[in-house]
Structure 1
Amino acid sequence: MAESSAKRLRTDAGAVTIGTHNGHFHADEALAVHMLRMHIPTYLNANLIRTRDPALLATCHTVVDVGGEYDASTNRYDHHQRTFSTTFPDRATKLSSAGLVYMHFGREMIARRLQTAEDSEQVALIWRKIYESFVEALDAHDNGISVYDPAALAAAGIEKKFSTGAFTLGAMVGRLNANWNDAVPEDPVAAQAAEDARFVLASQRIGAEFDRDLEYYTSAWLPAREVVVGAFNERAGYDSEGRIMVLKGQSVPWKDHLYTLEEEQQGDEVKKVLYVLYPEKPGPGARWRIQCVPETKDSFQSRKPLPEAWRGFRDEKLDEIASIDGCVFVHAAGFIGGNKTFEGALTMAQKALE
């Protein structure tokens, strides 16, 4: 029996219609709908139908996460069919509806934000970065792909030390579904409307997190790249082997860009950066920080921690131990320290290299 068209959520009678499935909703279609409705002009004020009725889905301009078909030429973006194996370029994770929509429309979203051409280098850089840092986790979650190989973890005897509360992006959306014992309206149309309202809230919630990432990578992360490139190219002025990098004006997000620059120059046998120096705030008279570069972006292990003898000490006592004036502190874990002046922080870095 065909589902009633009263189950549609309408926002504008003249707009196109996006179809997705009703019932229990997930982060992938919630984000896919948000990206289309909020960032792509064709879909602004789009109607939304949540249904599994093929007849109703056939009336939709675009269908995501239902229908058993992936065909961008007809705006069909499902990933549940047995033959589906599409991945984002150069990534191994099978796509969900979020990944499909992002792969096809992400560059347009980013180009519109940057007001530049879709085929620009900046768009390509952010397109890949947002996929790897945000969307891929949703693809993996929806396709049942673990971050680590469970068999390898079991073989190594590795167990979690504490619960993270399972608060992932997917779980955040999942919690907005109705509980099993929540009251449900007896009228089917009213029940579907209540479920649809929960989905809209979920789409807005995951969408707000996506929008924060889009804003961050276009307005803060990308401009930081130019700063890091300049500092990276000037490393030899502070250490002949290029192991000290100085951010002169103020600190910027540097880790992603540093690792990328090092990877690009691997063939040149360039020494890796061990310490990054930056002022605590812009302007004259600012104190300076010396931060150790982690082994990887998310690692707590530094490539070369600050000397053990300095760790946990402050001010005059640290000056005495390090034989350096103006010391402020060195963290007990040895990954960061401070000095009242740039010259003092640079001396700390140069001595730490010995």
Structure 2
Amino acid sequence: MAENAAKRLKTGDAPVTIGTHNGHFHADEALAVHMLRRHVPTYAGAALVRTRDPARLDACHTVVDVGGVYAPEANRFDHHQRTFATTFPGRQTKLSSAGLVYMHFGREIIARRLGREQQQQQQAGDDAEVDVLYRKIYENFVEALDAHDNGVSAYDPAAVSAAGLAKAFSDGGFTLGAMVGRLNPNWNDPRPADPAAAQAAEDARFEAASARIGEEFDRDLDYYTQSWLPARSIVAEAFAQRGRHDERGRIMVFEGQSVPWKDHLYTLEGEAGPGSEVVVYVLYPEGTAPDSKWRVQCVPVTKDSFQSRKPLPEAWRGFRDEKLDEISGIPGCVFVHAAGFIGGNKTFDGALAMAKKGLEL
């Protein structure tokens, strides 16, 4: 169903109108509107109507986050009705309007960004790369907005309480959802007395919010299509060659330059199956110049963890240059971070020696 969404649109008509609710706005409809206008050609230049008036909404070509109807064949994408329980394939988080629009138009958006519009329009079979990115962008960006709008916590509050866990510091509650929410007017901001002027002022704030969350979405879209995806084959090659410098395959080396490797490494290790040795250290040059210094980076326990599988030796941490040479017994050392998750050497051989010694200690 999702792949056929664009085929329902009336491409020969005048610019379409998108309807959403007025009043306090949220990140989900702000992103939904951006995705349609910015990435789906039929909605280029679409007018926006923010209202809760059923008659005005009925006149809109497409309605998001209001109206009490989820009917993709009629371009209705609301999630507030009591019976709504739709989730993204393979995920448990109930969708918001952002997730609904992404579920139905996401593959087209990604295919266009990859320059594969014709293939997507012709429905010429599955595209494995588009499918990988479709899931990746949902899980790493859109799902957080779905959860925020539906009041879903990242961790089970009861389990957190039972474990006696508490935040070590305040993050200010700054999330993608909060970023949009703070663009709403404050309770005591001046408000025009004229209803039409007041609505226009509110709509202007919504447009700014839609552009702001859209900018972040577009950054992710560009990163995953133009940087993350091309890195897959490079990481796969380095992973395949990991036995060259350690017979157990615990050291992975990027010869030319580093690429985004964490996601791909965890995927490759998972594909290698249980019992396979994991990579402990990743080596890469700081730049592309022949005399570039080299880094030794510890692989985190998980992608977002500050805990390393095996930090560099405690005795090295926080030292630099000649003092670190003396302590480690390895020439050319540059530094080891005080937390032990990364270090550097002037040469590849020196970085490799640091990694091998780190495995032993």
Q: Into which bin does the TM-score normalised by the smaller protein fall?
A: over 0.9
Structure 2 partner of 1:90: 90
> Residue 258 of structure 1 aligns to which amino acid in structure 2?
L
Inter-partner Cα distance in structure 1 for 2:359 and 2:170 = 38
Aligned-pair CA distance for 1:295 = 0.2
Deviates more, 1:314-323 or 1:95-104: 314-323
Structure 2 partner of 1:329: 335
Structure 2 partner of 1:9: none
Structure 2 partner of 1:311: 317
Structure 2 partner of 1:50: 50
- Cα shift readout 1:41-78 (whole Å, capped 9, x = no counterpart): 01000111111111111111111001111111111110
Structure 2 partner of 1:222: 229
Structure 2 partner of 1:183: 190
For residue 127 of structure 1, the aligned residue among 108, 124, 134 is: 134
Structure 2 partner of 1:3: none
Inter-partner Cα distance in structure 2 for 1:279 and 1:46 = 47
Aligned-pair CA distance for 1:230 = 0.9
Inter-partner Cα distance in structure 1 for 2:319 and 2:37 = 54
Q: Return 5+ residue gaps in structure 1 as ranges.
A: 1-12
Q: Secondary structure at the match of 2:49?
A: strand
TM-score, reference length from structure 1: 0.94
Deviates more, 1:315-324 or 1:43-52: 315-324
Matches within 5 A, 1:1-354: 14-116=14-116, 117-118=119-120, 119-267=126-274, 269-354=275-360
> Residue 326 of structure 2 aligns to which amino acid in structure 1?
E
Deviates more, 1:255-264 or 1:308-317: 308-317
Q: Return 5+ residue gaps in structure 2 as ranges.
A: 1-12, 121-125
Inter-partner Cα distance in structure 2 for 1:14 and 1:26 = 28
Aligned-pair CA distance for 1:235 = 0.4
Aligned-pair CA distance for 1:330 = 1.3
Inter-partner Cα distance in structure 1 for 2:167 and 2:77 = 36
Q: Secondary structure at the match of 2:358?
A: helix
- Cα shift readout 1:301-342 (whole Å, capped 9, x = no counterpart): 100111122222222222222221211111121111111110
> Residue 164 of structure 2 aligns to which amino acid in structure 1?
G
- Cα shift readout 1:71-118 (whole Å, capped 9, x = no counterpart): 111111100011111111111111100000011111111100101244
Inter-partner Cα distance in structure 1 for 2:127 and 2:331 = 48
> Residue 289 of structure 2 aligns to which amino acid in structure 1?
G
Inter-partner Cα distance in structure 2 for 1:65 and 1:96 = 7
Inter-partner Cα distance in structure 1 for 2:268 and 2:61 = 43
Aligned-pair CA distance for 1:148 = 1.2
Q: Secondary structure at the match of 1:296?
A: coil
